[in-house]
Amino acid sequence: MKCRVCREPAVIDLRRHNANFCAEHFLRHCCQQVERVIHDYKMFSPEDRLLVAVSGGKDSLAVWDILHELGYAVDGLYVGLGIERYSGESLSYVSDFVDRRGLNLTIVDLGDTYGFDVPGAAEATGRVPCSACGLSKRHVFDSAAVDGKYDAVVTGHNLDDEAAVLYGNVMRWQVDYLGRQRPLLEARDGFPRKAKPLVRLTERETAAYCVLRGIDYQVEECPMAIGNKHLGFKETLNLLEDRSPGSKAEFYFGYLKRAVDRFSDAEDRGRLGICSGCGAPTDAEVCAFCRLVSRSAGATQPVAFKARNEATVSKR
Ligand code: Q46
Ligand code: ZN
Ligand code: ZN
């Protein structure tokens, strides 16, 4: 197996590209794929200030590393979810990453700042943990980006994520979501611009990128993800990809090219007002996040358990 570019021994085969790469040319390939997405979707320019939503997993660390290598000014924001051992460990990977590179990281701990954590909120509201978690992360990232006057929020969503979300939305014909499923969402109604520069890279590629760059990341799945439908959609698409390499990319990029504009009308919302609690844009008197905060007040895991998890992590 030889590298497509230099003919030296390859370290990875990319079946959908019908190509093998050595370490150097694979890393270059990843950067080129990201540059292509930034260019094709006019995501941002080198003058922009970017805020990456970082979790400690391979994707968010890979996107931060690639953008940093490409010369973009990127700060990070980590949201402490209070999920057992998992949250403390995830933060330690992020801390290690920023310390080595001298990058700026803001940490918002849900328990310290809002008085609840994700397991507590799930119990208090009777909803699945991912629902409270997603709502909280979106709120914290959006308000940090707006308050900090960042030009865009960057997330590490990769091709597998986007194809799986698209598959789920098509299966249930969630037309409102289909209209918004794009690699770039412009700022509107008080929400910041949102960009997904990794959509041309798969999970396997972002994992290989981190390994070859010496980036340690949280390998464990979030314990709250068990039974998550999203994982089932990913597995289904992986079966198809295995039989027919390139199917995932054809499905997702074919949708962006030929279909997403047909759903644009469905995403038109009425004018939003301002939440009386936090000032965030909302179509109700009080936004969904503030309602979650008041329903979940004081819902956190036992303090002794939390302290043990955070013992190795310093806040900045
Ligand atoms: S962190 Fe949060 Fe994910 Fe865990 S609780 Fe669900 S949404 S699975 S990206
Ligand atoms: Zn090579
Ligand atoms: Zn609010």
Please report whether residue 279 resides in a domain: no
Torsion of CA 152, 76, 209, 100, to 10 degrees: 140
Residue 204 lies in a domain: yes
Count of domains observed in the chain: 1
Q: How would you list the strands of the sheet with 152-154, edge to edge?
A: 105-109, 73-80, 49-53, 152-154, 194-195, 184-185
130 lines ligand 1 (CB under 6 A): yes
Ligand 1 proximity of 128 Cβ (cutoff 6 Å): no
Residue 293 counted as domain residue: no
CB distance 61 to ligand 1 below 6 Å: no
Neighbouring CB atoms inside 10 A of 186's CB total: 11
Atom of ligand 1 nearest to the CA of 134: 7
Please give the distance, rounded to the nearest whole angstrom, from the Cα atom of residue 49 to the centre of ligand 1: 26
Q: Whose CA is nearest to atom 8 of ligand 1?
A: 225
Whether the full predicted model's pTM is greater than 0.75, yes or no, is: yes
Which of 60, 118, 125 to mutate for ligand 1's pocket (most ligand atoms within 8 Å of CB)? 118
Question: 222: Cβ below 6 Å to ligand 1?
Answer: yes
> Is 110's C-beta closer than 6 angstroms to any atom of ligand 1?
no
79 C-beta closer than 6 A to ligand 1: no
- CATH number at 254 reads 3.40.50.620
Q: Is residue 17 part of a domain?
A: no
The answer as to whether 65 is a domain residue is yes
The predicted structure's pLDDT at residue 297: 82
Domain span at residue 70? 30-269
Q: What is the pLDDT along the chain (316 residues), one digit of tens a residue?
A: 999 999 999 999 999 999 999 999 999 999 999 999 999 999 999 999 999 999 999 999 999 999 999 999 999 999 999 998 999 999 999 999 999 999 999 999 999 999 999 999 999 999 889 999 999 999 999 999 999 999 999 999 999 999 999 999 999 999 989 999 999 999 988 999 999 999 999 999 999 999 999 999 999 989 998 777 888 999 999 999 999 999 999 999 999 999 999 988 655 566 789 999 999 999 999 999 999 999 998 666 544 334 333 333 333 3
